[in-house]
Amino acid sequence: MALITLRRNFYRLSDVWINRALAALKNQPINHVHKVVKEHLCPWFCSLQPEPFRVRFHHACCKKFHSENGNDLHPVGEPLFSQVHDWDRLEQNLKNEDEQIFYRRLNSFTSSEEVLSFISTLETLSDAMAAGALQRICEVGKKDDNQRLPKGILENSIFQALCFRFEHELSHLSNTSLVTVLQALILLSMDPQSSLLLNLVAECQNRLKRGGLEVHNLCILGESLIRLQGPSCVTLEPIIYQLQGEKLETFTPEDIVSLYRILQACTDKVDQHQIFLNKINNFSLSLVSSLSPKLISQMLTALVVLNQTQALPLVIKLGKYVERHIPQFTDEELVKVLEAFIYFGHSDRFFTKALEQHVAALCLTLDPEVVSKVMEYCGRKQILSKPIFNAVAETFVCQSEKFSPSQISELIEPFGKLNYLPPNASALFRKLENVLFTHFNYFPPKTLLKLLHSCSLIECHPVNFMAKIFSPFFLQRLQGEQSYLDRLNLAQLTQLFLTSVLECPFYKGPKLLPKYQVRSFITLCCSLETPMDFQLYQSVKTALIDLLGARLYFASKVLTPYCYTIDVEIKLDEDGFVLPFTVDEDVHKRVALCIDGPKRFCSNSTHLLGREAIKQRHLRLLGYQVVQIPYHEIEMLKSRLEVVKYLQRKLFSQNTGVHW
């Protein structure tokens, strides 16, 4: 093991003191040695430790001290005691405890200056300790997210001594020390063409070719080379090949996640490594319980980047452990977790409960990106969590200036999508209106349209902005460089225009030109209406035929002149008689049956979604008699006859004179 001398003019004990101490040790039994050593010899830490602790004798250092001073009381390599085996065991125990103390002290420092000051007091450092010290300098030395160390640290003589010795004693470094030094220097964004880095990489490549690197070292080397040379690094393939030949049982959880990160950088070769990925995914199931929050976040991120949609069992198991660690995640890690759950479509009521507690307690201190991502997750999974929504609404009212336009859009949209007004709705939308007035031009056109459309779903109509979004200037911005407007955007514009006509008759501004209006709100990509549930429709259709006497008396999937599609339409004349659906004359009333399946409600709820609520609201304003047939009421009926009686009550309870 290479020993790096940092200060050659270190404080030296007198020869007399050394002789006296060794003579005393000679005459003591072996079980008394440890006590004497603790009381008299302090080569490293006694002057540094703020409180008393047990001192350890470093035999290797003592041998070097003797040889440097020409004191041959005991020749190098000759045992001081007759019990050679006992002494070697004692020496190893003392060395291990010295290292433990060293690393404890090292991890307690919060600045590079403290680390350098600490190691400057040491006579010698093993290569592992020196590498650990360099790594700690890198961890704590960055200021304000700057990847480079301050100039004062780079010019520090101790830091330069570390780098100098690493460069000139590469062949003596252990594998772990070698890759640790390489990793630390790359994290500091050192010049890739510097002689130190080039020599480190060359030495690593030589040892890789000889097959002498262990699993952990291979993982560190792989990630370091990706950071230094990019995913196209030619050395990466041999590293992955060697890792494929290792037994996964020998990998630690940290190594498995590191392996995911290496493969994550090679997304263009996912198909090539898919068999290996399948093995890793299956093996990782057994490691989930031992992963830290940071590792869970990194594993989920890698699964997303690698598009491991077939690894849903692993995602589900990770989700069960995520809920336990939510308070321990950093804001950035929690964002990654939420992005992964959105990507894989995963949701869990226990995770939602833990998220509610976390957001409700810390919402005012959470990063805006976390707040908006939580709302995006709720919106995507249609989870109406009133504790989350209320806390987020309060946060936006108090701290709206912290949110970017895209974050504001992600924050507000779920309120409209899930048809929910928080207790402070008036303050929330007044604050939103002020933000839009002040920063209107900073919002991307599509983001702005989506935001205003969401407000209209819950009857918070953006009347003060309708003139702007119906103007040719805005429509041109919305179109951008494309030759046509996106169909979803046209549908949103059309519904906003319909809202201005039906719900805001006082609006007298510009109208939306017919060429920008759609004929139907059902689109192939993202519809403004939820398609009818087929099985639920079949149950209702059969009962309607029994009730009305023939299929002739109702129509299905009727497209109205107002862009909405009615699930089932029934026509009545002035006397309340049901007319055949083919008749257009003498129609006095139209009944619109909304056959609402589970997808028209918030998740695990009977709360109607915003797009269905606005549809039913508009149909009523257009003169339809809207009859809602929700799935949860139909599911309670046990027979066909019960369904018929249920529909009779729904359709004709207020028209006792009706005949069919």
Confirm if 541 and 593 have CB atoms less than 8 A apart: no
* Phi/psi-derived region of residue 275, left when phi > 0, alpha when psi is between -120 and 50, beta in every other case: alpha
Which of 134, 156, 173 marks a domain boundary?
173
Spatial CA neighbour of 113 closest among 132, 147, 140: 140
At what angle are helices 157-168 and 112-119 packed, to 10 degrees?
Answer: 70
In a domain, 74, yes or no: yes
As a three-state string, the secondary structure of 184-205 is: HHHHCCCCCCCHHHHHHHHHHH
Question: pLDDT at position 153, please?
Answer: 74
Q: State the first-to-last Cα distance of the chain, in angstroms, to the nearest integer.
A: 98
Rounded Cα distance, 276 and 536, in Å: 44
Q: What angle do CA 268, 269, 271 make, to 5 degrees?
A: 115
Which stretches in the chain have pLDDT values below 70? 1-97, 141-149, 654-660
Spatial CA neighbour of 629 closest among 550, 564, 570: 570
Rounded Cα distance, 157 and 160, in Å: 5
In a domain, 408, yes or no: no
In a domain, 265, yes or no: no
User: What is the domain extent for residue 590?
Assistant: 534-652
Q: What angle do CA 24, 29, 30 make, to 5 degrees?
A: 105
Rounded Cα distance, 547 and 564, in Å: 26
Rounded Cα distance, 215 and 436, in Å: 55
CA distances from 610 to 236, 499, 568, 601, 660 (A): 50, 14, 20, 9, 34
Helix (H, G, I), strand (E, B) or coil at 179: helix
**Six-digit token pair at 416?**
């409209």
Question: pLDDT at position 23, please?
Answer: 40
Which of 143, 173, 203 marks a domain boundary?
173
Rounded Cα distance, 29 and 81, in Å: 9
Rounded Cα distance, 412 and 408, in Å: 6
Identify residue 319 by its one-letter amino acid code.
Answer: G
Identify residue 127 by its one-letter amino acid code.
Answer: D
635: Cα within 13 Å, side-chain hemisphere: 8
Residues contacting residue 514 through CB under 8 Å, at least 6 positions apart: none
In a domain, 114, yes or no: yes
Neighbours of 21 (CB within 10 A): 17
In a domain, 488, yes or no: no
Spatial CA neighbour of 104 closest among 41, 50, 32, 35: 50
Question: pLDDT at position 559, please?
Answer: 95
**DSSP letters of 222-253?**
HHHHHHHH-TT-TTHHHHHHHHHTS-GGG--H
In a domain, 7, yes or no: yes
Domain count, the chain: 2
Helix (H, G, I), strand (E, B) or coil at 65: helix
Q: What angle do CA 617, 623, 627 make, to 5 degrees?
A: 60
| H or E element in which residue 630 lies | strand 625-630
As a three-state string, the secondary structure of 43-59 is: CCCCCCCCCCCCCCCCH
> What is the distance, to the nearest Å, from the Cα of residue 548 to the centroid of all Cα atoms in its chain?
54
Question: pLDDT at position 39, please?
Answer: 40
pLDDT tens-digit map of 559-617:
999 999 999 999 999 888 999 999 988 899 999 999 999 999 999 999 999 999 999 99
In a domain, 27, yes or no: yes
Rounded Cα distance, 81 and 67, in Å: 19
Residue 625 sits in a domain whose CATH number is 3.40.960
Question: pLDDT at position 148, please?
Answer: 65
Which of 124, 147, 173 marks a domain boundary?
173
Task: List residues bridging with 570 in a β-sheet.
Answer: 591
Confirm if 188 and 149 have CB atoms less than 8 A apart: yes
Helix (H, G, I), strand (E, B) or coil at 147: coil
| Residue pointed to by tokens 């470094």 | 173
In a domain, 272, yes or no: no
Neighbours of 35 (CB within 10 A): 10
CA distances from 558 to 167, 192, 564, 594, 618 (A): 79, 67, 8, 12, 15
Strand spans (E) along 22-162:
124-126
Question: pLDDT at position 93, please?
Answer: 53
